[in-house]
Chains A and B, each alone.
Chain A
Amino acid sequence: MASTPAVPISEQLQQLQAARKLALENSAYYDRIVKGVLPVIGPASSIELKRWGAEFLAESLATPVLSMRDKESLTLAVLDTLKSLLESEQDDAIVLKASIAAAASAYPVVLRWIIHNSYHTDAWEQISAIKSRILRIWDGAPAPVRLSCIKFAQRVVLAQTTSNGQEAKYGGLDISLGMVPANHPLLDPRLMEAEATGLLDRMLGVLQDNSSDALLVDATLNCLSILIRTRPSTSNRIINCVLNFNPLKLANSPMTPKNKVLMKSMEKTTRMLMINILKRDPNNQHGGRIQQYVERLMRSRAEIFDEAGRKRQLADQAAAQYGDLKRQKMEGAAAAAPGPAAPAQPVVIPPLAPGPQTLAAVFTLTNNRGLQAFDATNIPANLVAKIVARTLNTLDQSVLDFAVNGIRSRLHTLQSAAVAAAAQYAAQGAPVQPGAINPATAPLGVDEDDDDYEPNLDAAEDTEQILNKLDNAPPETALDEYADPNAALGLGPFNLPPPPLIDADIASKLSSVAASRVFAPLSSLTADVPGKKPKAGINRLAASSYDRDAWLTVVTRLATRSTFGLEQEEQQQPAVKTEDGGAVSRPPLASTFNNATRELLYTYVLEDWRRRIEVAVAWLCEEWYNDQLTKRSGNLKNAPLHYEYWALRLLDGFMTFITAQDKVLTRFLAEIPELSRELLGKLKTLCGDPNTLGLAMTSLLYLVMMRPPVREMALDTVGGIWIEYEEARPLAAKYLSKWRPGWVEQQLQLQAAQVAAGVGGNGAALVA
């Protein structure tokens, strides 16, 4: 304030900055600090303070940390200062820009407050004065101020049109005309909407004039999205206007760097807005037109800018590895294609230059330097396969024959050179070392001889190297040799070395690796949608399609059958097999793979056992079937049986996780092919827990009712439960009295007799 000039401005600014920091750190201080600084930043203060103040107000009124309620009290408190800042400040764009931004944030907040507090005419008068002041300075203001005016107008339009309720509920974006009651004493919805329409037209004016002021165009375009999206009454008007806007009008003016930036900017901004609209609302009624417009823009842009782009690319290439690529291309084209209308130009196969050759050189048929330097191994194998297949398809047979013969004659030349060199080597009896001359011991004058150095005489080693390389070359380069077996290069037959012997440890390691790889596809295979799977009934093949079920069938059969008939041989060797499955200390060789697969299958089922119960049942069926085959074939007496063991393990596995809701247990017991007393006995442990007691008993009851062959066994188990678990007695007694009338009474009498006879120990043991 002018009345406190004692403190220098820089110091005042520092204090204000500290106060702002306090508010940022704790939003509770906002109210106090904003109200506290209002006198300091008033119209009479220095320009620095006003700038800081206007910017601080803009920041405070926009901050997302305050709730709508806090913002209301804050906004109402600053209206007066805001108004005087806007009215007193004529020139400073920074003050005006920030003040208008603050007003833009304030407008919807004040409007909302007026809607609910119609008596507060002061606030409405103040904001109306602010609005008319802003709209008055809009035209003719400096660019930054006009930017803010555009945004202010957008907020007024947003607040004074009817919403479709699709906007986010923050920052006052959701305040709309729909909230104004028809009989509001201060606000007339019809007038407000008319004002909004007028302001929207004024905003869009910059587009209608096809302005090339990118700053204003971008600012306008970038605030239209939310209007189109959430204010249906504005969207037609805006979209039509944008579709008629030509952002590339500047293309006719000189292409200065600035113009390029402006044009690119307007084109891209327009396109982004349209794409955003299409993305948010693909069924927009203007969808087709927007699509066309966007495509047309992209085409025009490509036409205008592409030239420059292409030039740059060539410049990049020229700087690349092979020097002046452009010229080389011209040379190559001139040499290879004498005229455009010469379709079958003769292929010229130049003879090899004398001297040592690389393998690549032997197979290179082109004269083009650039192509010669090209490293074909950079191309991915699948691409090479495609290119080769297509080329071979379209290639003229005679050209291919010619090329093959050309290579063949080159190889012949090399071979004869090698033979000649070998003969010379034998005749001289001394190796001729090319190149490697120790400078210290070199004979005098050898440097001058370098030029006359005739490498043809020393080709022996190099030729051998070439032949070695040929042996090791991948088949595609060796194709020519296979094409003509007579062109053999004097090599003996080649045999692969015998594979190393595998001992038991390595074999078991490899088995488990193989088994785990069998499971790899499961994670990527999808289960078939149950609806669309046709039921083939008894005629179906187990694994005809490549889906998860089919693969699981394969896996279970691999686990159970793959070594069928091999196991018993190992079995006959003394003391090898221990029937304890996964943790076999020294597994017989043949069964390691099976057991590893079984182990993994077990893990797979248990990972999600409620859903994979079908897999478990299918697997156990396979095991059972396999066991039956084993039993039936007479000579497999000692072969191990797996069904019982794995059924028990699976059941044990489930039991650990079982809860009262797991009806799958009933299903599991009903569906597996064979039940045993031991298996059913496992259910007893469930009866110790009152939660799972019911489940165990229901499962048993189901077996009694639905699986007559195991009825006796199941009833025996129920009986056992009755004896062992006190708390299970009522339920067990109910079932027993129905299916084994008289049994319970008999037991009671028996126990009474035992107690009477004083053999309590036995009874206690039973109860425990």
Chain B
Amino acid sequence: MDTANGNATSASAAPAAPAQQNGHREDPGGFKLKFCTVCASNQNRSMEGHLRLALANYPVISFGTGSLVRLPGPSITQPNVYKFNETSYDSIYRELEAKDPRLYRANGLLNMLGRNRNIKWGPERWQDWQIGMPRVKKETDKGFEGMEGGVADIVITCEERCWDAVIDDLLNRGSPLNRAVHVINIDIKDNHEEASVGGRAMVDLADSLNKVAREERDRVGAAAFDSGSGAGRASFDERVPEVIGEWQERWPNLPATWTLAWF
């Protein structure tokens, strides 16, 4: 038994430095938490988070909680509105490009959609997500690896409103799967710059959480005998609020809320 443990333990030194670069990094392997990012339209903030987490080699999926996908149009009263689950990023991209390429390039929409269509097919709605339905047909999605089971350990929302919608929806579903999930809100303003900052903060949070989760996994046998005393020995679930508290100190401008809910 002990000889076999070596493989898993060696991978435990997960990098959690906040100064982590944003792009690709080496996949350290080993245990990984599964993430789910949520914003209103599954376009800007959740997709930025989706991409960043996927590049950091985490399994990740993303959703929007709005009733429709809303993108800015030529004026505030003329938004471009699309249906969730039925419209692909690519078709939105092509439509907006045909409408007014100058405008939509200038306000960054085409750039964003261009990024999104390389991440997954189209915006998905949280409320329509069948939690636990296997996601085996989505091999081309970024962050697909590890998400086959169709559940997440951590849900990160990008706005209080979305957090509320997620919790409300989970309460309504009645938690049939009996699976605990940490739902964390990070307040990110809905613009490209803030989304980028928020994406970095998400990776930082994910790294911190994953480090703690991995420590729990690596504690086997003898070490586990005196579990239950000392912060370092505490379980992953217990340490989540502590990790968020520390993270909040590092990111004071992104107020966070957390709860433990059930799928």
Instruction: Name A's B-contacting residues (CB within 8 A).
Output: 8-10, 20-21, 24-25, 46-48, 58-59, 62-65, 91-94, 101, 104-105, 142-144, 147-148, 151-152, 154-155, 167-168, 170-173, 214-215, 218-219, 222-223, 225-226, 230, 256-262, 264-265, 268-269, 272-273, 275-276, 279-280, 312, 316
In the complex, the answer to whether A101 meets B224 with C-beta atoms within 8 Å is no
In the complex, the answer to whether B132 meets A63 with C-beta atoms within 8 Å is yes
In the complex, the answer to whether B174 meets A171 with C-beta atoms within 8 Å is yes
Cβ of B97 within 8 Å of any chain A Cβ, yes or no, is no
In the complex, the answer to whether A47 meets B221 with C-beta atoms within 8 Å is yes
Given contacts A46-B4, A91-B225, A215-B241, contact A226 B136 (CB under 8 A): no
Distance from A104 Cβ to chain B, minimum over Cβ atoms (Å): 4
Beyond A94-B217, A168-B173, A171-B176, list 9 extra A-B contacts (CB 8 Å): A62-B178, A62-B179, A64-B132, A143-B237, A168-B174, A170-B176, A218-B260, A226-B175, A230-B174
Instruction: Name B's A-contacting residues (CB within 8 A).
Output: 1, 4-5, 7-8, 130-134, 136, 148-149, 151, 164, 167-168, 170-180, 216-217, 220-221, 224-225, 227-228, 234-238, 240-242, 244-246, 248-249, 252-253, 256-262
In the complex, the answer to whether B178 meets A143 with C-beta atoms within 8 Å is no
Distance from A66 Cβ to chain B, minimum over Cβ atoms (Å): 10
The residues of A that contact B234 with a CB separation of less than 8 Å are 143
The residues of A that contact B174 with a CB separation of less than 8 Å are 167-168, 171, 173, 225-226, 230
In the complex, the answer to whether B261 meets A258 with C-beta atoms within 8 Å is no
How many interface contacts (CB-CB < 8 Å) are there between A and B? 170
In the complex, the answer to whether A261 meets B180 with C-beta atoms within 8 Å is no
A171: nearest chain-B partner, CB-CB:
B176
The residues of B that contact A48 with a CB separation of less than 8 Å are 4-5, 8
Secondary structure of the A side of the interface?
helix
| Bound-complex Cα distance A273 to B249 (A) | 28
In the complex, the answer to whether A215 meets B179 with C-beta atoms within 8 Å is no
Q: Chain A CB within 10 Å — which of B170, B175, B178, B241 has the most?
A: B178
The residues of B that contact A225 with a CB separation of less than 8 Å are 171-172, 174
In the complex, the answer to whether A93 meets B235 with C-beta atoms within 8 Å is yes
| Bound-complex Cα distance A20 to B252 (A) | 42
The residues of A that contact B217 with a CB separation of less than 8 Å are 94
Given contacts A25-B136, A48-B4, A272-B168, contact A222 B237 (CB under 8 A): no
The residues of B that contact A262 with a CB separation of less than 8 Å are 241
The residues of A that contact B249 with a CB separation of less than 8 Å are 257
In the complex, the answer to whether B220 meets A47 with C-beta atoms within 8 Å is yes
The residues of B that contact A264 with a CB separation of less than 8 Å are 257-258
B174: nearest chain-A partner, CB-CB:
A226
The residues of B that contact A275 with a CB separation of less than 8 Å are 168
The residues of A that contact B261 with a CB separation of less than 8 Å are 218, 222
The residues of B that contact A9 with a CB separation of less than 8 Å are 4
A93, A151, A168: the one contacting B178 at CB < 8 Å is A151
B8, B130, B172: the one contacting A276 at CB < 8 Å is B172
Identify 20 residue pairs between A and B in the complex whose beta-carbon atoms are under 8 Å apart, listed by A's number.
A21-B136, A59-B149, A62-B179, A63-B134, A64-B133, A91-B227, A142-B235, A168-B173, A171-B177, A215-B237, A215-B240, A222-B261, A230-B174, A256-B245, A258-B246, A261-B244, A264-B258, A268-B257, A272-B167, A276-B171
Given contacts A173-B176, A265-B258, contact A144 B237 (CB under 8 A): yes
Distance from A249 Cβ to chain B, minimum over Cβ atoms (Å): 15
The residues of B that contact A257 with a CB separation of less than 8 Å are 245-246, 248-249
Distance from B50 Cβ to chain A, minimum over Cβ atoms (Å): 21
B177, B225, B238, B248: the one contacting A105 at CB < 8 Å is B177
In the complex, the answer to whether B170 meets A222 with C-beta atoms within 8 Å is yes
The residues of B that contact A10 with a CB separation of less than 8 Å are 4, 7
In the complex, the answer to whether B227 meets A261 with C-beta atoms within 8 Å is no
Q: Chain A CB within 10 Å — which of B217, B237, B244 has the most?
A: B237
B221, B228, B236, B256: the one contacting A261 at CB < 8 Å is B256
| Bound-complex Cα distance A223 to B256 (A) | 22
